[in-house]
């Protein structure tokens, strides 16, 4: 099985010293550089907080609400502080003029480096994001991510679990030699790795399936260890063989879609039996294959998603957004959530299904019970758009207003 295409490129590219990115490696240089990034992020967040406006009570009149399947008739939605309320007393009324109100979008796979990345997400309606690699807890936490400052809520992964001399393992060592201690040689090292990751209290464990890489027994042991400590597992699997490993390990989530050949019926049955959830990151897969069409096959990714969807496997939107220098398949923050929904429609999902994949399904399958739908008591993470995205998925790009935790973004 070939390396992850992005990883293979970076290992041979001179820009590796300046930028290590792609599916789990969004940070630059060594850990001293990460500390500098973290300091810069904290400064940017402090400036934002100095001009932060608390949520107001707002009555959004004459809006059509996406209820997960269709649009309602024009109605009123109350933003009461951070949450959706029911009482319009003393509220500021805004006429939605028949525009469509959607739950805030959730991007289930991102690699932000700075506050600017988060601002781009927010302006495009992304109100929650899942950061998919935290080599430095300081770097990740410097991004904020509480969803109370007009920026998206963030959830953070562990450092990716990978093997020495694997593609991801080699890059881990290059980020900083001391990180070699988080690499895993065998099942005997799983308890130590788990203990180290729990020290930073990640929201979920990130695992890497690749060849060469973790043995099947080690990958399976990592999933079992995560379950014992109450952490979901997300497994990187960008090739056919890696998918088989992730399925056998019974990882909760599988991220990416194969770029060599599509998975078959027996694998899909196993995914259903295991109740696994797939985030195919088709935007990244398409861009990667476009940049090396002789080696990688995007049609395999599309066919895999089409078959998964037809079988009823839950599919979430995730973009693998990253913009570090030297990345051969850069994916923009924010705009890519719209690309991903359009890619899912191309793979056979209806417009309404693609909208659910970007809203209530990520909330459901990551256990976030306070968002993903528009109803009283839920977070006021909202996107107001022109047009009808149930009829035309591209209407999600026509954003009029965004609220995150009840705070309206300026400059949308």
Of 272, 310, 147, 213, the residue nearest 7 (C-alpha): 213
Of 379, 323, 376, 395, the residue nearest 148 (C-alpha): 379
Residue 43 pLDDT greater than 60, yes or no: yes
pLDDT band at 325 (very low <50, low <70, confident <90, very high): low
Q: Which pLDDT score, from 0 to 100, does residue 54 have?
A: 77
Residue 12 pLDDT greater than 50, yes or no: no
pLDDT digits (tens, 9 = 90+) for 280-293: 999 999 999 999 99
Percent of the chain with pLDDT over 90: 74
pLDDT band at 197 (very low <50, low <70, confident <90, very high): very high
Residue 21 pLDDT greater than 90, yes or no: no
The residue ranges of every structural domain in the chain are: 5-24+105-371, 52-103+372-412
Which has more pLDDT, 339 or 169?
Answer: 339
Q: CA 381, 387, 391: angle at the middle one, nearest 5?
A: 100
Which has more pLDDT, 57 or 54?
Answer: 57
Q: Which pLDDT score, from 0 to 100, does residue 326 have?
A: 57
Q: Which pLDDT score, from 0 to 100, does residue 182 have?
A: 74
pLDDT band at 18 (very low <50, low <70, confident <90, very high): very low
DSSP assignment string, 384-406: EESS-TTT-GGGGG-EEEEEETT
- Mean pLDDT is lowest, of 14-23, 118-127, 137-146, for 14-23
Q: Does domain 52-103+372-412 have CATH number 2.30.40.10?
A: yes
pLDDT digits (tens, 9 = 90+) for 198-257: 999 999 999 999 999 999 999 999 999 999 999 999 999 999 999 999 999 999 999 999
Please give the average per-residue pLDDT across 307-314, as a whole number. Answer: 98
Q: CA 222, 194, 281: angle at the middle one, nearest 5?
A: 55
> Domain 5-24+105-371 is in which class?
alpha beta
pLDDT band at 35 (very low <50, low <70, confident <90, very high): confident
Please give the average per-residue pLDDT across 46-74, as a whole number. Answer: 89
Distance, in Å, from the CA atom of 50 to the CA atom of 403, rounded to the nearest integer, reads 19
Which has more pLDDT, 25 or 351?
Answer: 351
**What single-letter DSSP state applies at residue 321?**
B
Burial 294-322 (b: 16+ CB within 10 A, else e): eebbbebbbbbbbbbbeeebbbbbbbbbb
Q: Which pLDDT score, from 0 to 100, does residue 145 have?
A: 87
Q: Is 292 exposed, middle or buried (0-12, 13-18, 19+ CB in 10 A)?
A: middle
Residue 10 pLDDT greater than 60, yes or no: no
pLDDT band at 15 (very low <50, low <70, confident <90, very high): very low
Distance, in Å, from the CA atom of 99 to the CA atom of 64, rounded to the nearest integer, reads 6
Parallel, antiparallel, or unpaired for β 75-80 and 83-85? antiparallel
Burial 263-286 (b: 16+ CB within 10 A, else e): beeebbebbeebebbbbbbbbbbb
Residue 180 pLDDT greater than 70, yes or no: no
Residue 26 pLDDT greater than 60, yes or no: no
């Amino acid at each position: 099985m070939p390396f992850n295409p992005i990883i293979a490129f970076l290992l041979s590219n001179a820009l590796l010293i300046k930028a290590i990115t792609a599916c789990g490696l969004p940070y630059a240089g060594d850990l001293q550089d990460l500390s500098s990034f973290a300091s810069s992020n904290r400064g940017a967040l402090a400036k934002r907080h100095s001009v932060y406006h608390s949520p107001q009570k707002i009555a959004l009149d004459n809006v059509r609400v996406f209820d997960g399947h269709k649009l309602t008739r024009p109605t009123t939605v109350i933003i009461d502080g951070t949450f959706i309320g029911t009482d319009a007393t003393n509220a500021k009324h805004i006429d939605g003029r028949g525009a469509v109100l959607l739950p805030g979008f959730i991007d289930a796979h991102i690699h932000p480096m700075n506050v600017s990345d988060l601002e781009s997400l927010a302006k495009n309606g992304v109100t929650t994001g899942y950061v998919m690699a935290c080599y430095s807890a300081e770097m990740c936490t410097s991004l904020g991510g509480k969803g109370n400052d007009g920026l998206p809520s963030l959830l953070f992964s562990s450092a990716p679990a990978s093997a020495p001399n694997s593609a991801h393992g080699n890059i881990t060592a290059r980020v900083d030699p001391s990180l070699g201690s988080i690499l895993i040689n065998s099942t005997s090292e799983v308890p130590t790795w788990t203990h180290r990751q729990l020290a930073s209290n990640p929201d979920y464990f990130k695992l890497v399936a690749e060849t060469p890489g973790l043995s099947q027994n080690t990958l399976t042991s990592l999933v079992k260890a995560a379950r014992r400590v109450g952490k979901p597992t997300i497994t990187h699997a960008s090739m056919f063989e890696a998918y088989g490993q992730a399925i056998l390990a019974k990882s909760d989530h599988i991220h990416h879609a194969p770029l060599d050949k599509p998975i078959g019926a027996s694998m899909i049955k196993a995914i259903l039996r295991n109740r696994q959830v797939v985030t195919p990151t088709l935007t990244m897969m398409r861009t990667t294959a476009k940049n090396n069409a002789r080696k990688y096959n995007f049609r395999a990714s599309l066919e895999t998603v089409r078959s998964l969807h037809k079988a009823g496997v839950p599919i979430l939107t995730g973009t693998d957004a990253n913009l570090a220098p030297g990345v051969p398949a850069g994916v923009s923050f924010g705009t890519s959530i719209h690309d991903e929904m359009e890619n899912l429609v191309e793979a056979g999902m209806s417009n309404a299904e693609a909208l659910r994949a970007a809203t209530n399904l990520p909330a459901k399958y990551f256990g976030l019970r306070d968002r993903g739908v528009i109803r009283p008591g839920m977070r006021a993470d909202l996107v107001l758009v022109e047009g009808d995205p149930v009829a035309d998925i591209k209407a999600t790009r026509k954003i009029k207003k965004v609220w995150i935790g009840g705070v309206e973004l300026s400059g949308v």
